[in-house]
Structure 1
Amino acid sequence: MMKVGLISSLHLNHGGMSLHTRPGDPMPMQTFVPVGLLSLKASADTAGVPADINVVEVNRLLVDGTIPNTDALYDDIAASVLAAGDSLVGLMTDADSLSHTVLIGQAVKRRSPDTLVCLGGPAVTPISAEFLERFPWADFIVRGEGELTFSELLSTLHAGGDPADVRGVTYRRKGESVVNSDRPLVKDMADLPWPAYYAFDMTTDANLYLDVGRGCPFKCSFCATAPFWERRFRMRPIDDIVRQMEYVRDAFGRTSVNFSHDIFTCDRNWTHRFCDEMIARDVGVTWGCSTRTDVIDAELLQKMGAAGCEEIYYGIESGSPKMQRWIKKNLDLEQCLKVVKATKAAGVRPVAGFIVGYPTETRETLNDTLTRFFQFLQEGEGRSQLFTLVPLHQSPMFRQYEKTLNRPAEYYDAPVTESRMAQIQQYRREHKDLFCTDYRFASPDINEALIDAAEELSGHVVVLASLWPQLLAHYDSPLAWFERWVAWIERYNDQHSPGTRYRHQCEPRDLLVFAQEEIARLGIEDSPVAALVRYEMMRLDAANLPAPGPRPAASTVGPESALRPGDFLGAEFPYDLQELLRGETVRAASDGGAYVVTRKSAADKIETIQLGRAARTFLERADGRRTARELIAEAFPESTAERDPQRTLDHGLGLIRSLAGMGLLLECPAGAKALESPPGAKALDGPAPTRTPARPAPANGTGTPPRPGPQALDAPVRVPRKKAEAR
């Protein structure tokens, strides 16, 4: 029996990267259930192939530190995934990490020269012959849809047969690459077995993408999906999908999944039937999917929401009608906006994706896309993404513009050590045609720095989603803001990060420092947008606060308890912060100002709380010496206390206990030393424009409920914040 190891590709978690990440730092990777590899194993097992197949998810080994990030990284990966006597190792490939896969493959061959190395996936399918010619350590490439091809290849090798008879395989014979005839796609996906979930630790938090269908019938010129699947659209049977969801729920406790299909609602009647089945069986598993805005409607959205759909990704691709026609996407952008609104109305999160950097991009088309990006960011409540165009071998556009690939992309790469990165960069220079996704097309009609600066920008913009409607109103266009930003970040990085590969990339704090300078330039220091920038800076600063320790029960706080402030940041704002964050017409805060504090919750999230006058007094005057009774006397007018002293004491004590329950006030142990400088209640004037190596505030906001009804002046109100979740 053959022994076979299947290895996942590296998937970087871009949200875990920053300009402070250094070569050799721990690797922030995305962990996922390798459904594609598990499908290969299931197909081979079902067919009775005499092979013992082991599936390894490398990203998990990197995240948990099993494999350290050293000069020996790729050798350590090879050592971790190779089992004694392995006959063949299969490497999954994708465009973003192909160069890393090359180094893993080399390490496998060095460690075990007799082990055959096979690659598969969309990154190597269109370049299979060239790849084998350049990299002699690779023995086979499984092209296209892999289940049947891989099973037949294993059976052939086990029997000592000739791989020339296996359709869909590229192999080497006498030093020359041989490309066998293509294998037809599977006609009925019901013929494919379920992925071998039994061969993977499904109880982890790894993302699960169910293989519910394949293919796309559309003709977008920048995309490789339709050519890879020969423009054929296929779905698994509805009952098959639902039973898989029930299975992962019952066997592994999975109550949320994603569907790995580009256009889930391509057949609207099929989608209606699927939703009907989900509702009738009360599956209890939420799901997310992707689709186009022109193959969905409000009626279907309502049913999808009722059937457990939580999120839909819409590939809008360009905000320019001219570019929509040029890339053959042909979406009606106003209709796209209506669909996003209808998605929200159905209780489903909409995520809109846009692309810049097309070879024919102009200032006009870029401005149109930026305008729509910010519009959809607001309408989608902080859920919009901006990407740069990635050259893909099988896309129609690639053949026409391949020769214009003229500069390396500025997207974040895994922070391998300097020596390993030098090796990767050398491969990318020597084999630009193979590693084309690491480069960008020339855009001769526009300053290419504008494209480079968009590489990693949207994740930071989304974190600050509430800021843009207020700030962009002071510019002639989003492009006018963006051009000023790009020139600023170039100068800033040249000064603070000289020699960086990411000259146009940033941190959220950089955007706020730039906004502060722009606010001064525009003369709007007393405007609502200035207050928003100050608030967002305070949230970033709150990420540096210590994690809260155990809190005593608030009920233990009595009138004679000495109190001190907890760890938080506080500032007064001239506007009602809740109205600012909701984008409403703002009014001056009651009583001359709104006092706002930010603190870190036990779940390591940043919470924002708007406090009234009495609560502010408690926080500002608590010093470890004053008792609750004394603080109450200082917070309420004498006339109020004289009229009903017991009611005033009870009311004040209730408020103090509420603040203690949130960790904003802490009870001092008897005999504890008073504080010379309380840590909380500090007004913030904004830091100097220098980077601090602090983790940005979490993008998912406070997690607090919608704004409550009218409150007493002295009652704390948690400020709801639009979620900024990126897909």
Structure 2
Amino acid sequence: YPFTECPTIPLGLTYLAAVLEDRGFEVDILDMVVYKFSREKIIEKIRQYKPDIVGAGSVTMNYPHAKRILQIAKSEGATTIIGGPHATFADREVLSEAPWIDMVVRREGEYTLLDIVKGRDLKDVKGITYREDGEIVRNPDRELLMNLDELPFPARHLVPLSKYIAYKTGCSMVTGRGCPNRCIFCVGPKMTSRKMRFRNPKLCVDEMEEILDYGFDEIIVEDDTFTINKEHVFGICDEIISRGLKFKWSANARVNTVTREMLEKMYEAGCIFIQFGVESGNPEILKTCKKGITLEQVRKATQIAKEVGIGVLSSFIIGLPGETKETIKETMEFAKSLGTYYGYHVLAPFPGTEVRERADELGVKILTNNWLRYDANRAVTETEGVSAEYMNKIVRDFYKGVTKYVKNQVKAEEAGTASEADLKDVAIRRRRSLAWHLLKNDLIETYGKFKDEAEDPVKRLADNLYSYRGIQNNFTKQYIDKEIAQMVKEKLLTYKNENGTIVWQWKMPEKPRRTKTKEEPTIPTKTPTL
């Protein structure tokens, strides 16, 4: 997944791993979001772990990378499985173009993967697409898991949480699954169904407490629409309040589902930010996209949130059916008028979306099926009224404005005129920039190994890191000394002495103590999920 987006823990993989662990299987996760991607690293992991099965998750933009990982795994003799929305809705295409992938797990995969790992005959496993005698076989869909409370908490202990904490990103979780809406640009309802399923609020807050125990101070509720059910929202908020928990959290919301009463309760429970999917400032485009909201609802919900004290990010998509230069201008003016944070993505017609299936009818021209370009930050489509080049210019100009805003914040900091909010923004952004360098270049692993010469290992680590040109060019030595010492204090970085050699590493979390329902596996197996 692209690190340019704010990285979050791979929630789907940790749910899959949790179900397998809960049944007594041995599982590991190689989280490539926060490691420097390399073929050698994948081979080393596979040869060290010797898995029977290797699985990879795939959204459209990272599908080519998932495909490469599984090709490596197959060359090492593992059974290979791919899941996620891209593979779910392009399952036959995936198996046709990648003969090294053995099967696709479609939609929600926890119990489908469990059936496979237990050795059940593939013809009896619902929710998979696989090969048999050279033919692609698509089994019926698996029934929805209606009782989400039977799922164990995600196996976050298999992920290097210290890296996410160092990056100052929140920890993701879900309190329910499903989305009843019909937006033509989204695969969510097809992936998790339009039927809403909610977890018990007490269990949700139990999980929140576990996340806080790991060291996070912020939680990201990733439900498609957290605010869809008033009783559920109030149940969770009241549980947080009754336990006296104090932490920051954010959530996705729809403008036609929030009320002042709900937002006040969310604020009381610690919610600091919500994201509204607005998509367009043109009413006709909203209707075409089946968004089901009005601009007046957007204005009202945004105003209430601001009055309550909750920050708002309004998200827009350019390039939707019917888009023209004039409608883009409408959207930009409407976004500015809200007086909140806002951002643009460019339409990406992912497999499984209605806009892709009806592209010709809707007047959307798909320009490429190079999935690496489907990051929603550059145009892969155009309409009769607006070209890809024009949309790309709009996005470039927007981000130039963001860059200018950020530079002005830094200048204000240096001049001593920055507001408290700006100072906080600059500090978080600088810390994330440092974490980005450390993680994407494996700098702790590279510069954190040296002979024990009776000097301060923390100072030596900071000195070594500062010798890296990318660090020197972006940070002061004083800042590196301070931040590395802070990461050590927070126990994100630890070291050990191996026969006279100091070896620094990112700390891995300990497995939490929970009551589990054990079920003996049918066959012994190891199943790392990459």
SS at match of 2:358: helix
Q: For each residue in 1:169-203, what CA deviation from the matched residue of structure 2 results, as whole angstroms up to 9, or x when unmatched?
A: 11111222111110011011112111123333434
**Deviations for 1:589-640, whole angstroms, at most 9, x for unmatched residues?**
xxxxxxxxx9x9998869xxxxxxxxxxxxxxxxxxxxxxxxxxxxxxxxxx
Matches of 1:391 and 1:144 in 2, distance apart? 18
Out of 37, 41, 47, the residue aligned to residue 13 of structure 2 is 37
Alpha-carbon distance in 2 for matches of 1:286, 1:345: 18
Secondary structure of the residue that 1:182 maps to in structure 2?
coil
The aligned residue for residue 220 of structure 1 is: 183
> What amino acid sits opposite 1:11 in the alignment?
P
Query: Aligned in 2, Cα 1:47/1:454: closer, same or farther, shift over 3 Å?
Result: farther
State the 1:136 CA deviation: 0.3
Is the CA contact 2:55–2:70 (under 8 Å) kept in the aligned structure 1?
no
Any conservation in 1 of the 2:126–2:141 contact (CA below 8 Å)? yes
Q: Is residue 176–residue 198 contact of structure 2 (8 Å, CA) maintained in 1?
A: yes
Larger radius of gyration: 1
Q: Does 1:371 align with 2:347?
A: no
Aligned 1:320-335 pairs, distance under 5 A: 320-335=282-297
CA drift of 1:103 comes to: 2.0
Q: Does 1:169 align with 2:128?
A: yes
- 1:557-599, CA deviations, whole angstroms, 9 ceiling, x for partnerless residues? xxxxxxxxxxx679xxxxxx999x99xxxxxxxxxxxxxxx9x
> Aligned pair 1:232/2:191, yes or no?
no
Q: Kindly provide the amino acid, as one letter, of the partner of residue 55 in structure 2.
A: G
2:359 aligns to what SS in structure 1?
A: helix
Q: Measure how far apart 1:12 and its partner are.
A: 2.5
Which of 2, 5, 14 is matched with 1:11 structurally?
A: 2
Structure 2 counterpart of 1:91, one-letter code: A
Q: Which amino acid aligns with 1:384?
A: Y
More off after superposition, 197-206 vs 348-357: 197-206
Amino acid of the structure 2 residue aligned with 1:185: L
- SS of 1:13's equivalent in the other structure is coil
Question: In the TM superposition, what is the alpha-carbon distance from 1:130 to its structure 2 partner?
Answer: 1.6
Sequence identity percentage: 25
Q: In 2, distance between residues paired with 1:291 and 1:603?
A: 25
Q: 1:119 to 1:356 in 2, by over 3 A?
A: same
Residue identity opposite 1:233 in structure 2: M
CA-to-partner distance for each residue in 1:521-566, whole Å, 9 max, x for gaps? xxxxxxxxxxxxxxx6x667x59x9xxxxxxxxxxxxxxxxxxxxx
* Structure 1 residue corresponding to 2:401, chosen from 457, 461, 464: 461
- Taking structure 2 as the reference length, the TM-score comes to 0.73
- Residue 79 of structure 1 aligns with an amino acid whose one-letter code is E
Structure 2 counterpart of 1:57: 31
Query: Could you tell me how far 1:205 is from its partner in structure 2?
Result: 2.6
1:344 matches 2:318: no
Aligned equivalent of 1:17: none
**Which residue does 1:95 correspond to in 2?**
60
Letter in 1 for 2:211: V
Quote the Cα distance in structure 2 between the aligned partners of 1:318 and 1:293.
13
C-alpha distance in 2 between matches for 1:435 and 1:460: 21
Distance 2:356 2:117 in 1: 33
Aligned length: 426
Out of 104, 123, 128, the residue aligned to residue 69 of structure 2 is 104
Pair 1:182 & 2:141 matched:
yes
Indicate which of 110, 116, 122 corresponds to 1:153.
Answer: 116
- TM-superposition CA deviations, 1:686-726 (whole Å, max 9, x none): xxxxxxxx879xxxxxxxxxxxxxxxxxxxxxxxxxxxxxx
Q: Which amino acid aligns with 2:74?
A: K
Distance 1:454 1:176, change over 3 A: farther
In the other structure, the counterpart of 1:684 is: none
Equivalent residue in structure 2 for 1:400, among 358, 370, 374: 358
The one-letter amino acid paired with 1:175 is G
The structural deviation recorded for 1:352 is 0.4
Q: Give the 3-state SS of the residue equivalent to 1:54 in structure 2.
A: strand
Kindly state the Cα deviation for residue 397 of structure 1 after the two structures are TM-superposed: 1.6
Aligned 8 A contact 2:61 2:375 in 1: no
Structure 2, gaps ≥5 residues long: 432-472, 476-530
Is 1:442 the counterpart of 2:362? The answer is no
In the superposition, relative to structure 1, how do residues 446 and 201 fare at CA in structure 2: closer, same or farther (>3 Å)?
A: closer
CA contact (8 A) 1:40 1:146 kept: yes
What is the CA–CA distance in structure 2 between the aligned matches of 1:351 and 1:435, rounded to whole Å? 22
Answering whether residue 185 of structure 2 is matched by residue 241 of structure 1, we say: no
Q: Mark the CA change 1:53 to 1:169 in structure 2 (over 3 Å): closer, same or farther.
A: same
Counterpart contact for 1:75–1:108, Cα < 8 Å:
no
1:337-388: CA deviations, max 9, x gaps?
2211211222211110011101321233212111112223xx11xx111111
Partner of 2:156: 197
Give structure 1 stretches of 5+ with no counterpart. Answer: 1-9, 15-29, 68-72, 409-427, 466-507, 509-535, 546-567, 571-576, 583-597, 607-693, 697-727
Larger relative contact order (CA 8 Å, sep ≥ 6) = 2
Read off the aligned partner of 2:228 and give its amino acid letter. Answer: C
**CA separation in 2, counterparts of 1:115 and 1:605?**
41
Matches of residues 644-663 of structure 1 in structure 2 within 5 Å?
A: none
CA distance in 2, matches of 1:303, 1:435: 37
Q: Is the 8 A contact 1:44 1:151 kept in 2?
A: yes
Structure 2 counterpart of 1:58, one-letter code: M
Asked if the contact 2:55–2:81 (Cα under 8 Å) also holds between the matched residues in 1, the reply is yes
Residues 152 and 166 in structure 1, CA contact (< 8 A), matched pair in contact too: yes
SS at match of 1:205: helix
Structure 1 residue 104, shift from structure 2 partner:
2.1
Structure 1 residue 152: Cα displacement:
0.7
- Structure 2 Cα separation of the partners of residues 333 and 46 of structure 1: 47
* Distance apart, 1:255 and its partner CA: 2.3
Aligned partners of 2:62, 2:164: CA distance in 1, in Å?
Answer: 22
The reply to whether residue 46 of structure 1 matches residue 22 of structure 2 is yes
Task: Give RMSD over aligned pairs.
Answer: 3.3
Q: Give the TM-score of the pair, scaled to structure 1.
A: 0.54
Q: Which residue of 2 aligns with 1:389?
A: 347
Instruction: Report the 3-state secondary structure (helix = DSSP H, G, I; strand = E; otherwise coil) of the residue aligned with 1:442.
Output: strand
Structure 2 distance, partners of 1:122, 1:387, is 19
> CA distance change for structure 1 residues 282 and 44 in 2, over 3 Å: closer, same or farther?
same
CA distance in 1, matches of 2:271, 2:409: 31
Aligned counterparts of 1:293 and 1:601: Cα–Cα separation in 2: 30
Q: 1:77 aligns with which of 37, 42, 49?
A: 42
